[in-house]
Amino acid sequence: MPQVRTRFAPSPTGYLHIGGARTALFNYLYARHCGGKFVLRIEDTDRQRSTPEAIDAILRSMEWLQLEWDEGPFYQTERMDLYQERLHALLSAGDAYPCVCTPETLDAKRQAAMAEKRKPMYDGTCRPVEREAVPLPEGIPFTIRFRSPESGATVVDDKVKGRVEFDNRELDDLILARSDGSPTYNFCVVCDDIDMGITHIVRGDDHLSNTPRQMQLYRALGSEPPVFAHVPLILGEDKKRLSKRHGATSVMAYRDMGYFPEALNNYLVRLGWSHGDQEIFDAQELMEKFDIDAVGKSSAVFNPEKLLWLNAHYLKSRPLPQLAEEVTPYLSAKGYAEPRDRAWLEKMVDTLRERAKSLVELVDMAHYFLAESVDIDDKAGRKHLVPEAKNLLQEVSRKLGNLADFNEAGIEQVFGDVIAERGIKLGKVAQPVRVALTGSTVSPGIYEVIDVLGRDVTLTRLATGVRYIDAHLPTQD
RNA sequence: GGUCCCAUCGUCUAGCGGUUAGGACGCUGGCCUCUCACGCCAGAAACACGGGUUCGAGUCCCGUUGGGAUCACCA
């Protein structure tokens, strides 16, 4: 059994989207699982639509997802000699022939066929009666077409879909090279996959209908087709193929929204593949356990909630130093200055990680730790910063000011003393303090908040809280 | 429309002839509790329909319905 070689072959006409990422993931994992090679090839033969920006975006997305390719990236535009050579081989064998039909007449025939509810197929106007090499026309533009068999059937023995049979009469003579001489997709893929020794083609099932033609090309080119595995498409909420209309679909958008590459990979791999009841997989496990055999046949709807849940899982289980490191770019993205020091950053992140589901959300929740001062939410202020609380705030402030060791244990002691002395519930004092310190009724544990804020900021905000109470005394009517 | 693919809770899925049809997300209720989360416990929620085959069908076959993909000098 020769070494397994898979490939991911995106066309650089836009960013790397979720569906493409999953295809890349499957190819990557399958190669790793088999101890084979994963090659990256950029299909940029459409010069009109391919851009260097898109190439860059795809490469960066792959790197971010840690889908490391072993060979490439190869660019089809740099491999024109190969296609020319193969084209001539086909031509001289009579497996391809020039076609002088103009796009206009082709289009007109297509319209007519559609109007009559006939299948819009090439009618074979330029196809030689016999399989023979014909001289190329001179002085007029022409395309090169593949001479496909007109009878029989082509069978795709697909690893996920099973046996699929196509009647050859359904397949018309596809264009191999455009009138400007440039080769087209179906031809380039086959030449490249043969040349690169690809053994397994794992791709979206939107390519299933191209497969019989590609198999015929393999044979005309003297090669046996590789193993095909057509994985189901990812659908949007409306059950339509996932597209921009469904919101964020680019891999980089997920990075920017504060998702971890591990979470995205873990989510994506479970869309169409499963391993019993297991939901969480680390990178190593994926390489061990992933197999095409366990890929399902039906398409899957993209579910942002589950992705978010997975992201929260990775957020909670990340080693703290790593998490703090990863938060940093999101901090500066929001315009916050460098945190005072590492230890403090880690402490802060640690208080928030259980409550946030993404890095962006974590940074948003951290505003009262990072901003100079805090805006007191109106509703929270009216409910908790009331006259009865003034005294409590002052008492807490005084005790905190006198605290010898300003740490969580000491802070807890302060609150313990206050409620014991006054015989009140902790909530009675914790909520006003929380509102004064964070501006809202929701935050991590109050001792943690105070500890992270530090003595100076805490006392300042407590004082501000007291002033808020004075400024919002109930009116006397 | 032709061709091809698909069909278990709302969603992702387990199931590979005999199960109280399992898990996960989300949802609801409860517990924990200084708030919110986390966590824990409980609950509602599915085999599209109709024929066969079989002692027995979510599982096999056929049809219907529904959904999707594809029909370029795009990839």
CA of A298 to C1' of B14 (A): 15
The rounded distance, in Å, linking the Cα atoms of A472 and A294 is 64
pLDDT of residue A475: 60
Spatial distance from the CA of A250 to the C1' of B57 (Å): 43
| Two structure tokens written together for A104 | 């206009």
Residue type, A200: H
User: Which residue gives the smallest C-alpha to C1' distance to B15?
Assistant: A276
Residue A307 and residue A18: Cα distance in Å, rounded?
A: 12
Cβ–Cβ under 8 Å, residues A161 and A208: yes
The terminus-to-terminus CA distance of chain A in angstroms comes to: 91
Exposure letters A349-369 (e unless 16+ CB within 10 A, then b): bebbbeebbbbbbbbebbebb
Give nucleotides in strand B with any atom < 7 A to a protein C-beta: 1-8, 10-14, 22-26, 33-39, 67-75
Q: pTM above the 0.90 mark?
A: yes
**Mean pLDDT for all residues in chain A:** 93
In whole angstroms, what is the distance from residue A328 CA to residue A258 CA?
11
Question: Which positions ≥6 away from A135 have C-beta within 8 Å?
Answer: none
CA–C1' nearest nucleotide, residue A277: B23
Smallest CA–C1' distance to B26, residue: A305
What are phi and psi for residue A204, nearest 5 degrees? -65, 150
Largest CA distance in chain A: 105
What is the model's pLDDT at position A176?
A: 96
The pLDDT profile of chain A, 477 residues, written as one tens digit per residue, is: 679 999 999 999 999 999 999 999 999 999 999 999 999 999 998 878 889 999 999 999 999 999 999 998 999 999 999 999 999 999 999 999 999 999 999 988 888 887 777 788 899 899 999 999 999 999 999 999 999 998 999 999 999 999 999 999 999 999 999 999 999 999 999 999 999 999 999 999 999 999 999 999 999 999 999 999 999 999 998 888 887 777 778 999 999 999 999 999 999 999 999 999 999 999 999 999 999 999 999 999 999 999 999 999 999 999 999 999 999 999 999 999 888 799 999 999 999 999 999 999 999 999 999 998 899 999 999 999 999 999 999 999 999 999 999 999 999 999 999 999 999 999 999 999 999 999 999 999 999 999 999 999 999 999 999 999 998 876 644
Q: Residues A12, A58: contact at Cβ < 8 Å?
A: yes
- Measured from Cα to the C1' atom, the residue closest to B38 is A354
Helix runs in A131-281, H state only: 185-195, 211-220, 251-256, 261-269
- Distance of alpha carbon A50 from alpha carbon A339, whole angstroms: 42
Closest nucleotide to A187: CA versus each C1': B75
What is the spatial distance, in angstroms and rounded to an integer, between the CA atom of A264 and the C1' atom of B67? Answer: 26
- For B73, nearest residue by CA–C1' is A178
Protein A239 CA to nucleic acid B53 C1', in Å?
Answer: 34
Q: Which nucleotide is nearest to A303 (CA to C1')?
A: B11
Nearest nucleic acid nucleotide to A237, CA to C1' distance: B11
Is-catalytic flag, A425? Answer: no
Helices (H), A290-354: 304-317, 320-333, 342-352
Q: Please, where are the H alpha helices in A408-454?
A: 408-422, 426-438, 446-453
Q: Which of A283, A280, A211, A246 is closest to A19 using CA atoms? A: A246
The stretches of A5-140 forming alpha helices (DSSP H) are 18-34, 52-64, 80-93, 103-115
**Interatomic CA–C1' length for residue A158 and nucleotide B56, angstroms:** 33
